[in-house]
Amino acid sequence: MSELVLSNARLPDGRIADISIDQGIITHIGSSGHGERVINCRNRLCIPAATDMHVHMRDGSQAAKETWKTGTQAAAAGGVATVVDQPNTIPPMDTVENFLERAALASKESFCHFGINGSVTEHADIAGLAKAGVLAFGEMFAAPSSYGSALPAEVIRDSLKTIANQNMLVTVHAEEVILGEIHSLAEHSRSRPISGEIETIRLVQNLAPTHAQLHICHVSGAEAFETIKGSFEVAPHHLFLSYEDTDPENTFWKMNPPLRSKKERLHLIQNFAKIPVIASDHAPHTIQEKSQPFSASAPSGVPGVETMLPLLMNAVTQRTITLNDVIEKTVTNPCRILGISAPSLSPGSRADLAVYVDIPTKITGEALHSKCGWTPYEGMSGLFPATTVIGGIPAWHDGEFTHGGGQMWKNTQKAQLRRKE
C-alpha cells in the first residue's frame, strides 16, 4: 500500500494514470493498488512542480512584508516546490552566523524546499558561507536596488575570483543607473535602460575569471541575450506587463529593472524560445510602503511567486507557449543551473508535482497568500493548481496547507542528492 496515490492524473503525453508515492519518491506510474491517502485528480494535468530561483522571503524585521511561512505557502499554492532566497536580507547573508540563523528559521517555517544564497559584499565570508552550505552566491549587485548597494569594480572582480575558486554559482543584478529624479514608470525605465543592462553584463563578464559560473538575473530586454555568456532568467512581469498599461505613477508596478514599453515587451516575447529560465523575483512590500510617492520613497519590487506558474500555464491554454516550454524554463533548467536534481514524472524521481485545474480564474490579491496582500497582476487570468505535492506531502490541496515535505538544498549536499535521486 502506497503512502499517497494521485489517481486519474493526466500526464503531459495525454495518458491517464495513477501516481504512487512512498517516502517522498514516485514508486509507480500506471494502475495503482490501495493507498493510505488517495487524491482523485479527475483527469487534470499533472506536471513536475517548479523551482523559482529568485525570491526574497523577507521575515525578521521585514515580517510585515512576508514571512517564510506565508511566502512558501504562496509558492506551494502557485505550483512551486523549491524557492531560492536572495541574500539582501536584514541582516544580510554575509556571515556564517547570519546564514545559520536564517536557515534555522526557514527549516522550521517553510512549506516547500528552499535554498539560501550568500551575500557578495566587500566583507562577506565567502569561504565560510560556502562551507556552511549556501546554495549559491548573489544576487550580486552591480547596480543599486532595494536593500542592495552597487559594488565597486574591484570588489566584483575579487569576489568573482573567490567564488569561482569555490566552484560555485554567482547570480548578478546588472543595471546602469542614470542619476536624476523620477516621477513615472516611463521615466524609471529611461533611468535604468536596457542598454545599461547590456554594458553592465559586459563589465561583469570581463571582470570574471574564465572558470566563473555566472547567472544574470531578471533580464528585461531581448537585446541583452546575445551579450550573455552564461545562463540568465527573465521575470514574469517583464513578459506580461508594460508601463503603458497602467497609470504613469503607479508605484505598485515599480521594480528594478523597470517595466519596459509594450514594443520592448513584445520583442522579449518574440525571443521567448531563447530564455533558459523564468524566475519570479518575488519581492513583496506592504501596501503602505508602495503607496508612498514615486520619486524616491516607494520601494521597487513586486510579489510573484504564486502567480508565475498560473500566468505561464494560462499562456499554455492560449497556445502562445507550450507546456514543454514551461517545464524546461521553470523545472529542468533552474535545477540544472543550481546543481540539484530536477523532479520528473518517472519512478525514482522526487515527488514534487502540481495538478492544475481545467479552467483559468481571475487573479486577485485577496485570493493570494503572500502576506503583502496585493499583486500587480490584478484581474489577469491564471491557471492555478488544485494540488501541489512537495516531497511526497500534499503541501497544497483544495485550499488547505500541510507542512512537512520541504527540505533545504545546500551546496555541500548537491552531489549527495544527485547520487541519491
- Dist. CA 337–CA 53, nearest whole Å: 9
Q: For residue 333, which phi and psi values (nearest 5 degrees)?
A: -70, -45
Instruction: Take residue 72 and report the three cell numbers written for it.
Output: 512558501
Would you list the DSSP string of 288-350? HHHTS-TTTTSPP-B--TTTHHHHHHHHHHTTSS-HHHHHIIIIIHHHHHHTSPPP-SSTTSB
- Dist. CA 414–CA 395, nearest whole Å: 23
- Dist. CA 224–CA 194, nearest whole Å: 7
Instruction: Take residue 207 and report the three cell numbers written for it.
Output: 571582470
Q: CB-based contacts of 158: which residues, under 8 Å, 6+ apart?
A: none
Would you list the DSSP string of 282-301? B----HHHHTS-TTTTSPP-
Buried b vs exposed e over 250-278: b needs ≥16 C-beta within 10 Å? Answer: bbbbbbbbbbbeeebbeebbeebeebbbb
Cβ-based neighbour number of residue 23 at 10 Å: 10
Q: For residue 112, which phi and psi values (nearest 5 degrees)?
A: -140, 175
Alpha carbons within 13 A on the beta-carbon side of 243: 22
- Dist. CA 24–CA 119, nearest whole Å: 32
52 is catalytic: no
- Dist. CA 351–CA 390, nearest whole Å: 6
Catalytic-labelled residue, pool 245, 281, 358, 398: 281
Which residues are registered as beta bridge partners of 45? Answer: 10
CB 295 within 8 A of CB 181: yes
Instruction: Take residue 399 and report the three cell numbers written for it.
Output: 485550499
DSSP three-state, residue 32: coil
Amino acid at 95: T
Instruction: Take residue 146 and report the three cell numbers written for it.
Output: 532595494
CA nearest to 171, candidates 235, 96, 104: 235
Active site residues: 281
